[in-house]
Structure 1
Amino acid sequence: MKQSLKFFGGLWMVLCLGATALYAQSGLALERLLANAGLRNAVMGIAIRDCADGKEVFNYQGQLALHPASVAKLLPSAWALEKRGADFCFKTRVFYSGGIREHAIEGDVVIVPSGDPTPDSRYFPDSCFIRKFVSVLREKGIHTIKGRIIVQGESEEEIPGSWPWEDISNYYGALCHRFNYRDNTYCLNFTTGAAGTTARLLSVEPALPEIRFRNQVKAAASGGDNAWIYGGPYSNVLYVKGTLPAHQASFQVKGAMHQPEKYFIAELTTYLKKEGIKIEQRIPRNTTLEELWVYTSPLLEEIVFHTNKSSVNLFAEALGQLMAPFQYERALKRWLSGQGIDTSGILLKDACGLSPQNAIPAETIAHLLYTQRNNTAWVRSLPVAGTDRGLNVYLRHHPVLKNKLSAKTGSFSGVRCLAGYLTTSSGKRLAFAFFINNYTCPAAVVYEAVGAFLSDWVSY
């Protein structure tokens, strides 16, 4: 009996000492963070869970609903992987009408889209819809399409009402359509001379003949891409303003292509003609459809990989629409509630994090990270400090974080967020979310403060 009491007494002392050390460690880390003068006007929410047992080991205002920026992408990517599976693929079906006679499709080619965001995406160089389609026609010996090429369900996509007007014509504001092409992005190719001179617009790729660009871009002595595209998503006149580095032979500025199916058909038609396949544009008599080919996307786990690693808004929106074409927030909350996660603080207007009206508590994301800790494909999609450039800003003065931090970043005007996993020097794995909103100091001050805070936790 005495031996048992000694054992349990010793165990209790170890646990108490461990808890005391933990509170001392977390208190010191928080004290240093709050002492940073650059963050005096900011609002912060921090939550940390131990991945071994799920217990919350630290919480500072983690219940506050704050803007998550691109950390919001963690939600649709985890949801899609869990419900659809890592090997899910989008399928875009291609049909023809009128039958095939004497090497000719007698009617139309009809493409039935699936919301796949990957056709001809720069993130998937092998997913070239146009080249694969031409190969199918050659395999079937088709030299002529007597009808038209039609993308079924072409329509002007509704713009999320909360997206900032200045974002929707730039590449990261590309809308997710039922048919997506080239990341729904075009490139403006500029050349620049001396500082203060007007940059020259050389070309637009792909060609957008119906749009006129009013070029007001100047060359600047220093800085990177500070040029922005302004105008409505379906406007015929767009304004390009800002600055680009001086003395550049070629510099690209990317914009959002809001009618991807239209420019896809134009490029496909040009490519077919170049390959010797005629399109006669007749209206067919027989409209009965037969399947010609099915275009299959890369695996869902590969799409999720780029969604989070490269923070692709279009991919996140596609995943959101895949899981809930309507009432995304309500459906997502239902799934999260099923995981035992509190959803009372969630306000979401999109799936990618672009809307300034989005708000999520840090403790909600930390809890999600705990529940998804064994979701291998999802965890693999998170950037790793020392490997992926996006986290280098936290490593600059804190090399101890190298290979110990894997996390999704999020940035917005006055917003910096980080959420993921931290491995301590003792081998513990922590799930954390760190949101900072409304800071007024330089971003470098925020990165230094967050890096220092996480470095303190590495010794936990």
Structure 2
Amino acid sequence: MLRRTRRTVTVAAIGGASAALISCTVAPPVVDPEVPPSIAAIMDQPAYEDGRWGMSVIDIDSGETLIALNPDEQFLTGSTAKILSVTAALDVLGADATFTTPVIAVGDVTDGVLDGDLILRGSGDLTLGGRTMADGTLDVPIFDHYDANVLPGLATLTPEDPLAGLDTLARQVAAAGIRSVEGEVLVDDRLWDAVVLDGVPISPIVVNDNLVDIVLTPGAAIGDPATASWRPQTAAYSLDNRVSTADAESGLDVTITESDGILTVTGTIPLETEPVVQTYQVPDPAAWARTLFIEALARAGVAVAADPRSPSTGEIPPTAELDGIAPVAAFTSPPFSETARLINKVSHNLGANQLPLLLAAHAGERTLAAGLAQQMTVLEAAGLSPDDVAITDGQGLPGNRITPAAMTAYLAFLTNAPYFATFLDSTPILGVDGSLANVLPDGDPAIGSAHAKTGTLVGPGTDTPYLLETKALAGYLDAASGRRLAFAVFVNDVPIDEVQAVIQANTDLGSIASQLFQLY
């Protein structure tokens, strides 16, 4: 049965907001509204017997609390934390902010020869031209390659060239009259102090999400070798493909290991399967970008004496010195509104984790702690306190917690923010796109009625193979009656036997959203 704690929910109405947020006033809260039976039936399924549910639903216009289930208890956010990190970045940086990646020539240029070093400076541009379409917007698929290993068989590659930004910079270097570089090619990734989250380096220099994409295609018969291609094609890595074709019912079983620049892919791929994308996370983004940039320079006709694969030997001058040198090339990103859309639609963890670090850099600081403090300042201006929310990163790893009541109060508050339309457009649409594309059956009346962010955390279990640490959904819903709702629903600590249960939980939360649409 539902595990309830009957408590009074308070919808915050806070004055004294930051310049980018406008406070809103709401009516007094209703105490302990019950969960409707159709929603309770979803929560009461045997699969969730050992889990803990929390839910808050409010009418944005009246402030009335419609549902309050454990509203003041903290729950793991999962990727609903991206609501907090993206809106804080929109508040501080602005929807129109851009990120310019410059190239600095240190030394004299004589007859086209640079007697010195060429330095690529990371600016925090998440895509560096690798997803930019002809209209200047970013290509955002439903299932992105960033989650290819988590969602095998679902991820797709965008058709844009992941090296487009580096090629543009290299052509600009050539156009500036540099035909040869006698010194080093260096990558300056010192915009913030080094951070690794969930095993991923959070770097200000990113090329192809700092991933090697490997596309596997089964052979014509069981036992045949699979074929493999990879991108970007680079001397940084070579591929040793040892994948074979297995029975059509066998499921994908692939492992990627690296040694001395060789990516060895082993395992099996089912017969008659469509090509499957898998990825390898590069451990050193700066070295990765250096190799790729040297290769881009060669394509642009700029010779480089340095070995693209050997560790760089040069020393990067102090930041203040580089700041005083006019760049020979520069690449500017699309507006941050596009990055926000990518982060929220596909739940892009690297991009989300860059956000507090970009806030730190914006404030002249260098650490994740400083950036999270900047983010907390935005949340506190909206009325949230440490009793309501705890943030430890941008993506929503364990340690990030929020109460359902605080989440819906914050969502309601945001409706008066000058960047609200940008934020709303960045979130997945129920039954249409992003992480909510497939949560409702065809013909469900709620399709298109909600903009919301999903959240998922899965860890090792105690008595079962896995523990669904959190499944969450939070956002906005236009109900059938015309009422505008802010809602947040969480389920934590659910023992599960297989990862497929995560997909079912996602569907169940979609069903709850559909019930909200029909009931209110």
SS at match of 2:203: coil
Q: Which stretch shows the higher mean deviation, 214-223 or 270-279?
A: 214-223
Matched, 1:257 2:312: no
Alignment counterpart, residue 297 of structure 2, candidates 259, 272, 276: 272
Looking at secondary structure, tell me which structure has more helix per residue. 1
CA–CA separation in structure 2 for the residues paired with 1:352 and 1:220: 37
User: Relative to 1, partners in 2 of residues 1:284 and 1:46: Cα closer, same or farther, differing over 3 Å?
Assistant: closer
SS at match of 1:94: strand
The residue type paired with residue 66 of structure 1 is F
- 2:490 maps to 435
- 1:171 maps to none
SS at match of 2:439: helix
- 1:398–1:451 CA contact under 8 A, matched in 2: no
- 1:6 maps to none
User: Relative to 1, partners in 2 of residues 1:417 and 1:320: Cα closer, same or farther, differing over 3 Å?
Assistant: same
The residue type paired with residue 126 of structure 2 is P
Aligned residue pairs total: 426
Runs of 4+ in 1 over 6 A off after TM superposition: 210-214, 234-239, 282-285
- 1:216–1:239 CA contact under 8 A, matched in 2: no
- 1:188 maps to 214
The residue type paired with residue 227 of structure 1 is V
- 1:191–1:249 CA contact under 8 A, matched in 2: yes
- 1:361 maps to 403
- 1:81 maps to 90
Alignment counterpart, residue 446 of structure 2, candidates 370, 390, 401: 401
Q: Which stretch shows the higher mean deviation, 304-313 or 403-412?
A: 403-412
User: Relative to 1, partners in 2 of residues 1:371 and 1:218: Cα closer, same or farther, differing over 3 Å?
Assistant: farther
- 1:50 maps to 59
1:62, CA displacement in angstroms?
Answer: 2.4
CA–CA separation in structure 2 for the residues paired with 1:316 and 1:178: 12
CA–CA separation in structure 1 for the residues paired with 2:421 and 2:443: 27
Matched, 1:352 2:395: yes
1:309, CA displacement in angstroms?
Answer: 0.7
- 1:312 maps to 348
Give the alignment of 1:318-397 within 5 angstroms.
318-324=354-360, 325-327=367-369, 328-353=371-396, 355-374=397-416, 375-388=420-433, 390-396=435-441
- 1:45–1:66 CA contact under 8 A, matched in 2: yes
Q: Which stretch shows the higher mean deviation, 415-424 or 150-159?
A: 150-159
CA–CA separation in structure 2 for the residues paired with 1:445 and 1:281: 52
1:149, CA displacement in angstroms?
Answer: 1.3
Matched, 1:60 2:69: yes
- 1:159 maps to 196
User: Relative to 1, partners in 2 of residues 1:175 and 1:217: Cα closer, same or farther, differing over 3 Å?
Assistant: farther
CA–CA separation in structure 1 for the residues paired with 2:304 and 2:126: 27
SS at match of 1:108: strand
SS at match of 1:380: helix
User: Relative to 1, partners in 2 of residues 1:223 and 1:207: Cα closer, same or farther, differing over 3 Å?
Assistant: farther
User: Relative to 1, partners in 2 of residues 1:326 and 1:110: Cα closer, same or farther, differing over 3 Å?
Assistant: same
- 2:476 maps to 421
CA distances 1:112-141 after superposition (whole Å, capped 9, x unpaired): 222222214346448822221133134323
- 1:221 maps to 248
TM-score (structure 1 length as normaliser): 0.80
1:266, CA displacement in angstroms?
Answer: 1.8
TM-score (structure 2 length as normaliser): 0.71
CA distances 1:164-222 after superposition (whole Å, capped 9, x unpaired): xxxx3xxxxx4221222121111224343455777565556444656887967774524
1:423, CA displacement in angstroms?
Answer: 0.8
1:422, CA displacement in angstroms?
Answer: 0.9
Structure 2 residues not aligned, in runs of 5+: 1-29, 133-137, 139-159, 308-312, 361-366, 459-467
CA–CA separation in structure 2 for the residues paired with 1:448 and 1:418: 11
CA–CA separation in structure 1 for the residues paired with 2:84 and 2:285: 26
How many percent identity over aligned positions? 23
User: Relative to 1, partners in 2 of residues 1:40 and 1:339: Cα closer, same or farther, differing over 3 Å?
Assistant: same
- 1:133 maps to 169
CA distances 1:33-55 after superposition (whole Å, capped 9, x unpaired): 34433322221111112211444
User: Relative to 1, partners in 2 of residues 1:69 and 1:369: Cα closer, same or farther, differing over 3 Å?
Assistant: same
Matched, 1:150 2:189: no
SS at match of 1:49: strand
Matched, 1:117 2:144: no
1:83, CA displacement in angstroms?
Answer: 1.4
- 1:191–1:250 CA contact under 8 A, matched in 2: yes
The residue type paired with residue 437 of structure 1 is N
Matched, 1:91 2:91: no
User: Relative to 1, partners in 2 of residues 1:449 and 1:387: Cα closer, same or farther, differing over 3 Å?
Assistant: closer
- 2:17 maps to none
CA–CA separation in structure 1 for the residues paired with 2:36 and 2:314: 75
- 1:246 maps to 271
Structure 1 residues not aligned, in runs of 5+: 1-18, 169-173
Matched, 1:302 2:319: no
Over aligned residues, Cα RMSD in angstroms?
3.6
CA–CA separation in structure 2 for the residues paired with 1:39 and 1:50: 27
CA distances 1:15-42 after superposition (whole Å, capped 9, x unpaired): xxxx89x957x44345433443332222
